[in-house]
Amino acid sequence: MFNSIEESPLYQIANPKSIVFFGASNSISAMGTNLLMSLQTAGFEGAVYPVHLKEEKVLGLNAYRSVLDLPEVPDLAVIVLPTKIVNQALEECGRKGIRKAAIVSGGFKEVGGSGVALEEDLKEIAGRYGIRVLGPNCLGVANLHHKLNTTFIPYEGPGGFIGLASQSGSFVTQIFDYLSKLGLGFSTAFSVGNEMDIDLIDSMEYLAACPNTKVIALYIEGIKRGRAFMETARSIVPHKPIVALYVGGSETGKRAGFSHTGALAGPDDLYSGMFRQSGVIRAQSVTELFDFCWVLGSLPKPEGPRVVIQTHSGGPGAAAADSCGRAGLELPALSDDTVEKLTPFVPHTGSINNPVDLTFSKNPDDFYSNIPQVLIKEKKADMLLIYFFTPSKVLERALKQMGLSEEEIMDQAPKFMDHQCSSVARLLETDNKPIIGYTFRSLQEPSIRGLTDRGIPVFPGPERAARAIAALVKYASFDTRKLDW
């Protein structure tokens, strides 16, 4: 580990002031062109120097015949050239004095045969010049806080709090939109490719020191430095949670992973043990990876595994109770005090148990404010899980019946919903207990977005919510039980 983030070999790769770009042209059919377009879309503010043998301009930027012609020594080289000329380009970067490179080109170790020797040669060149290399066979880096994106898919959104180190470039670039729809984003995401030099562990160290990163996500097909991984993880976990998805454990996953980055996979339980012993929380799918990051990065630590569920519908309440049970969470009975305080708000067809079920609620204030305010104070519960279901249509129907005009409805409905959402979100600040939602509606509806944008994770379905809560509980238990998970 290093003392300051600037000491990380990834610092200039994630925060370059200037970039030389190999492999972009004015033709969209070249992959490099797409990557340079992504960089432009992100609004990168530093100098960008495309190298091209023939063109005067590449995507509107002045092009150079050779990296040796550049007016300065750029912080970073991004190389997206055909395999056979990559090594020569790196050699020239070295001669220019460049000391950081992201090599996107594939065709090295991962394809076997002559690719293995080619990567050995590339490594020798990097070593000779002291160039620290991300890749080859990667998609580089995205740091939207620095308006940097060297990956395939353009993205204009803001940066978020999830730091990713990934042995798949797709899980950087093809996930921007997915996260954005949850109201999330990457702090910085590294595609490590073949890990010829910089690897997953270097990336973890960078992300541990990165002030924008609240939680670290790992996509793993195979770890090469097992002991270093565990030591690094153990040093990070006490102050920043790590979630890992490992896909190489099954026979089929192993085969697919090998042909992808050439990383060697091990048996599933070996990795499980390694994660457990180093305090890393394991996800079983990409969905879970980011679900877990969501709660770990945005909610306070719960004191225990006790959940109180609030619903206005029996089925969703029972399904949530079932999901919580399966995820190893507890549903305590409510205190007499809580029951007494809730009585005025729950009709006789409802149920003041856990789940608290209003059945049919006439007053949204009960659901969004009066009841959560009581439940958050329940001493026997550590967290609040709420079923949200307020389609705009239903709200508009109610306002229409109240005699409001179409215009007034369009004006009032969003404000009303916003007020309800902020009532719930305020409890996060006042009571410092996790609040999690679930729904079967689109997460893009204003009534849901009003919650997620205020830091309350809302999951599509109770099973995802329950498993995410269980991950949060697991991480919270770290403090007391140390690394003996």
15 or 354, CB closer to a copy of itself? 354
336 or 479, CB closer to a copy of itself? 336
Binding mask 252-271 for a copy of itself (x = CB under 8 A): xx-xxx-xxx----------
Rounded-to-integer distance, Cα 349 and Cα 347, Å: 5
326 binds a copy of itself (CB under 8 A): yes
390 binds a copy of itself (CB under 8 A): no
Binding mask 172-211 for a copy of itself (x = CB under 8 A): --xx-xx--x------------------------------
245 binds a copy of itself (CB under 8 A): yes
**CA-wise closest residue to 418 among 393, 448, 438:** 448
43 or 97, CB closer to a copy of itself? 43
Rounded-to-integer distance, Cα 322 and Cα 338, Å: 23
462 binds a copy of itself (CB under 8 A): yes
Among 322, 337, 340, 453, binds a copy of itself (CB under 8 A): 322
Residue 136: asked if its preceding bond is cis (omega within 30°), the reply is yes
Q: Rounded to an integer, what is the distance from CA 453 to the centroid of its chain? A: 15
**CA-wise closest residue to 469 among 311, 246, 349, 302:** 302
27 binds a copy of itself (CB under 8 A): yes
230 or 321, CB closer to a copy of itself? 321
273 binds a copy of itself (CB under 8 A): no
Count the Cβ atoms, other than its own, within 10 Å of residue 128.
11
Count the Cβ atoms, other than its own, within 10 Å of residue 85.
13
**Stretch touching a copy of itself by CB under 8 A, among 71-79, 298-306, 386-394, 415-423:** 386-394
83 binds a copy of itself (CB under 8 A): yes
367 binds a copy of itself (CB under 8 A): no
Instruction: Report the nearest approach of a copy of itself to the CB of residue 391 (Å).
Output: 7
Rounded-to-integer distance, Cα 369 and Cα 375, Å: 10
**Residues between 115 and 174 that touch a copy of itself (CB under 8 A):** 137, 153-154, 166-171, 174
Instruction: Report the nearest approach of a copy of itself to the CB of residue 434 (Å).
Output: 18
Alpha-carbon radius of gyration of the chain: 26
Q: Helices 226-236 & 268-278, crossing angle to 10 degrees?
A: 30
**CA-wise closest residue to 89 among 107, 60, 65:** 65
Rounded-to-integer distance, Cα 198 and Cα 249, Å: 23
Q: Helices 392-401 & 406-431, crossing angle to 10 degrees?
A: 120
Binding mask 277-316 for a copy of itself (x = CB under 8 A): -------xxxx---------------------x---xxxx
40 binds a copy of itself (CB under 8 A): no
Among 324, 342, 421, 468, binds a copy of itself (CB under 8 A): 324
N residues, the chain: 485
Residue bearing tokens 């958050």: 376
346 binds a copy of itself (CB under 8 A): no
**CA-wise closest residue to 222 among 294, 146, 161, 166:** 166
405 binds a copy of itself (CB under 8 A): no
